[in-house]
Amino acid sequence: MPYMLLIVEPQGQRRLRSPEEGRAVYEQMLEYTAGLKARGVLLESNSLRAETVRLNMRAGRRSVTDGPFTESKELIGGFFLLDCATREQALTFAAECPAAQWATIEVRELGPCYD
């Protein structure tokens, strides 16, 4: 069963890090990624840049708004798509994620968007 681990970080946290600190955080995440790969469960992963733009279509009209969006307190900073046997396994991997120390890991099973 595929599970998505979404890294939900506090808005603006990245700017508080020096470039060295930022790279160190990134290194930790790469090491974690290698561990997932070595355990045969990693389907896909990536980090997301902070710059964001929002779009919606209403009555055929396209509306585009550039970020940052100061009203939102959180930012999705990256994701890991894992092939896990159980929800518990997904949670175990989430607990080992270094980002769990400075962000929140949202664990979601993949599936249709209706019940």
Interface residues with other proteins (CB under 8 A) are: 1-2, 34-35, 37-41, 43-44, 81, 83, 85-86, 88-89, 91-93, 95-96
Beta strands in 11-60 (DSSP E): 42-47, 53-58
Q: How far apart are CA 45 and CA 12, in angstroms?
A: 22
Q: Which of residues 24 and 95 has its CB atom nearest to other proteins in the complex?
A: 95
Q: Which of residues 19 and 40 has its CB atom nearest to other proteins in the complex?
A: 40
Q: Which two tokens stand for residue 62?
A: 């396209």
Q: Which of residues 37 and 54 has its CB atom nearest to other proteins in the complex?
A: 37
- Give me the residue label for tokens 């045969």: 40
